[in-house]
Amino acid sequence: MNTISENLLNKILDAPVGQVITVLGEILNCDIHLEVIEQNAITPHQFVRKIAIIANELPVIKAYVEFDSTVLPESIVSDLLKKKHGVGTILNINNIKATRNVISFSRNPDDTLVLRKYEILHNGIVWFTILEEIRLDNLGSNNNS
């Protein structure tokens, strides 16, 4: 992986919870937006949400978010069920301070994809489990345009 890509990746990985879109916008100097692709209940209280973070019409991050509505405050659940904002934005809107606990991290052999699984915790309680795919090949496309 070249130094520019490595620096981009490190900035994304080091972004505080809820700030990934902002950091991407600063790094890539382009319009970044999040799309909630789908959100489904797998049990009455367990949900899976699929999102994509798009830069210059290319998906740069795909994420699969799992959460239990019985653990979250009602206002957070209400915002999640509207499917308008990402988890980080919802936490920021509600002034929730959260931390990230990385469970696993790997790269594919050709350095085009990074997988990271982590938990978002608030006051020591897991609120979300996220599997994230960071598309380094698409990040490079945006950075070079």
CATH code of the domain in which 117 resides:
3.40.1410.10
Contact 111, 40 (CB under 8 A): no
Contact 19, 11 (CB under 8 A): no
Please give the tally of structural domains in the chain. 1
**Which structural domain, as residue segments, surrounds residue 14?**
3-143
The single-letter code of the amino acid at 51 is I
- Average pLDDT for the chain: 89
Q: What is the pTM of this model?
A: 0.88
Measure the CA–CA gap between 36 and 59, rounded to whole angstroms: 12
pLDDT digits (tens, 9 = 90+) for 87-97: 999 999 999 99
pLDDT digits (tens, 9 = 90+) for 70-107: 999 999 999 999 999 999 999 999 999 999 999 999 99
pLDDT digits (tens, 9 = 90+) for 107-134: 988 888 999 999 999 999 999 999 999 9
